[in-house]
Structure formats: structure tokens, C-alpha cells
Amino acid sequence: MVIHIYYGGRGVIDDPTRPVIERMQKVLEELRVSVVLYNLYEYKNTIPTLSQTVKDADGIVLATTVEWFGMGGYMLEFLDALWQFGDKSRIAQVYMMPIVMSKTYGERQVLSDLSNAWETLGGRTLTGLSGYIDNALDLEVNPDYISLIETQAEKLYRGVNQREKTFPSSKNALTERVGAPDPLKLSVPEAEQLSKYVSDENYVRTQKEDIQELAVHFKDILSSEDAGSEEEYIDDIRRAFRPSPGVSGRFVCSIEEKKNDLVIEISGGKLSVGYGKADSYDIRMSMDRAVMEDVISGRMSFQRAFMTGKMSGMQGEFSLLGGLDKVLVFTR
């Protein structure tokens, strides 16, 4: 999955939008998503060329900050470029989530404007996030704010991954009737001016090809691990172990992508963990690798995975599951 984040603010230190998209990027990368961040202020002379990058994404984030009178000019220019030069047939398949933070009034109006613009372009919108933040530092230290941002990133991942269904919009019908604007008729000086955009686009394309090569490389590494690594998760579990006298048992994790079971034995405050074939157990849990990754990264507990139906099957003494979460404390 490829997600592009287009940041339309001016990059100032106290901009509350920046810590939001930085944390979202971190969560998405933990979910094995390839994320590309475009700071529009860095491309202010070549924003029209960025309209071509959207077609390479499965989903995008349009993130901006409310300035003195609505959204900033960089984001408006980017949306204009999408209307003039964007591939409308490809945009129609791309999900967009708007993110708008403000230190003044009007964040909800800008959030609505971004959604309306994307629907007019023919794309699909996901529920966005907006808020008034007086001190950007609060977004990095307030646990409630952090939880909201991480939840929003997970919603983006699920919406794009599951191809969330939406009703047709009247703005989509408008786009189909109005269509794309007529091709621009350029004078010789204008054509020469546009030639530098082509050059910059080639540079952007080269960067994206490099990123794609890296993504394929790491995907191959992860695939080899999935096939049957006998070391994965063991060190993580050892580091997370917090002995508790009241917790003991033999816990078996059957992970779909693994050939052998992951066996966790806790007895007398001691831990033993490894892979093998387990015939006896106090609890056997069945799940896929993605669920195990959520547990190991601290985004979900074993008990929560069971309660929310993330585990495909479970057998044994259910009452011991809470004890397992007590002695294995995974942190983000």
C-alpha cells in the first residue's frame, strides 16, 4: 500500500499540523505502508508537476493549516493543478483523508472545503480530522491527542486497505458533466517555461523509482521472515517480560504465516519462549501475522485481540489471558 501526504502549510515550527502528520506517518510505516511526504512549500515553484504523483498512490492525505482567511495558498494551488492536469480516471480510485489543524478560527470549514474539492475531482473521501490547537507541543505530549491521531491513521489504513464503500456524490456527477478543462494552448515562452516542470517531474519520478526499489527489497526480506523465521518475536517477548508470582502457564500462539507454533511458557517468574510443535497448552491462540505485529508493537493486547474478534480461534483457560498481558508489557 502506498500513501502520499501533501502538507500545505508553511513549515513553521509551531504549526500544529506538522506533529499530526508526523505521528500518522510513523503509525502507517509501522503497519508496513510506504509513505511519501510532500511539503508543498518545498515545491512552491513546481507544484503543477505534483499533480502527476497522485496517480501512484492508493490513498492520500491533504493536510493544511488554517491561515488568516481559510486554507493556505499552496494547497489551493495544488488543488488547481489537480483540476488542470490530474488524471481524473486515476483520481476516481484514490481515497483522500483531510487533516486540518488551526490556531485560529475556521478548521471545520476548511475540512469541508477539502472534502468537497476532492469529490468534485471525482475522488473518494474518508472522514477527516480537525481541531483547534493553541500549543503544538500538546499534540506530542497529551495522551488523548496522541490516541486520536493514531486512531485516525488506523482508520486511513483500514479505509484504503478494505476499499471502503461510499455512496455516489452529486459532485461526482458534476465532474462527469463538466469534465476536465480544455487543453491549454501555450505560447512559445509559456512552453519553454513549462519545460522546466518536465525536468523536475523526471527528478520526482527518479526519486519515486528509488523508493519503489527499496519497498520491493524490504518486502522480499519480510516475505522470507514470514515463511518460517525461528527468531522473530522472541527478543521482543523477552524484553517485554515482567515477572508476576500469580501468573504461570503454557501459552501457544499459532500464527498463520508460520510453520511452527510460538510457545511461551511462564513458571515461577521465569520465561521460556521458542518455536515448535505444541501438543499441550493452557491457552492456544490462532491469529495472522498482522494481529501479532499489533500486539508486539503495543497497539493491541492479547485480550483485546480476542474481545474484538481479531483472533480466528482460541482454546483453553480464557481467564489466563489477562495474566499474559500483565507479564508481557509491550510498548509503542
- Residue 75: what pLDDT? 92
Q: What is the pTM of this model?
A: 0.54
Q: Which residue has the higher pLDDT, 123 or 198?
A: 123
Per-residue pLDDT at 312 exceeds 90: no
Q: What is the pLDDT of residues 62-91, one digit of tens each?
A: 999 988 778 888 999 999 989 888 888 888
| Cα 245 to the center of its chain, rounded Å | 39
Per-residue pLDDT at 183 exceeds 60: no
User: For cell 482454546, what's the residue?
Assistant: 315
Kind of pairing between the strands at 261-267 and 249-255: antiparallel
- Residue 178: what pLDDT? 56
Once rounded to an integer, what is the mean pLDDT over residues 245-270?
88
Other Cβ atoms less than 10 A from the Cβ of 292: the count is 24
Gyration radius of the chain over CA positions: 24
Burial (CB < 10 A; 0-12, 13-18, 19+), residue 111, is buried
Q: What is the pLDDT of residues 201-236, one digit of tens each?
A: 565 667 677 777 777 766 666 555 554 566 888 999
Per-residue pLDDT at 246 exceeds 50: yes
Q: What average pLDDT is seen over the chain? A: 83
The candidate with the shortest Cα–Cα distance to 91, out of 78, 82, 100, is 82
Distance in angstroms (rounded) separating the CA atoms of residues 172 and 186: 29
Q: Which residue has the higher pLDDT, 181 or 300?
A: 300
- Residue 181: what pLDDT? 52
Q: What is the pLDDT of residues 18-44, one digit of tens each?
A: 999 999 999 999 989 999 999 999 988
Q: Label residue 319 by pLDDT band (50, 70, 90).
A: confident
Other Cβ atoms less than 10 A from the Cβ of 40: the count is 22
Per-residue pLDDT at 108 exceeds 50: yes
Per-residue pLDDT at 172 exceeds 70: no
The helix or strand, by DSSP H or E, that contains position 39, with its residue range, turns out to be strand 34-39
Q: How do the domains of the chain map onto residue ranges?
A: 2-178, 234-327
- Residue 101: what pLDDT? 92
Side chain identity, residue 4 = H
Once rounded to an integer, what is the mean pLDDT over residues 124-135?
90
Q: Which residue has the higher pLDDT, 164 or 293?
A: 293
Grid cell in block for residue 11: 513549515
Least confident of 22-36, 102-116, 258-272, 311-325: 311-325
Per-residue pLDDT at 53 exceeds 50: yes
Distance in angstroms (rounded) separating the CA atoms of residues 135 and 14: 7
Distance in angstroms (rounded) separating the CA atoms of residues 255 and 207: 36
Kind of pairing between the strands at 261-267 and 270-276: antiparallel
107-120 vs 170-178: helix crossing angle, rounded to 10: 50
- Residue 176: what pLDDT? 58
Q: What is the pLDDT of residues 143-171, one digit of tens each?
A: 999 999 999 999 999 989 888 777 766 65
Q: Label residue 314 by pLDDT band (50, 70, 90).
A: confident
Once rounded to an integer, what is the mean pLDDT over residues 236-262?
89
- Residue 18: what pLDDT? 92
In CATH, which of 2.40.50.140, 3.40.50.360, 2.40.50.100, 3.30.70.2860 is domain 2-178?
3.40.50.360
Domain 234-327 listed as CATH 3.30.1050.10: yes
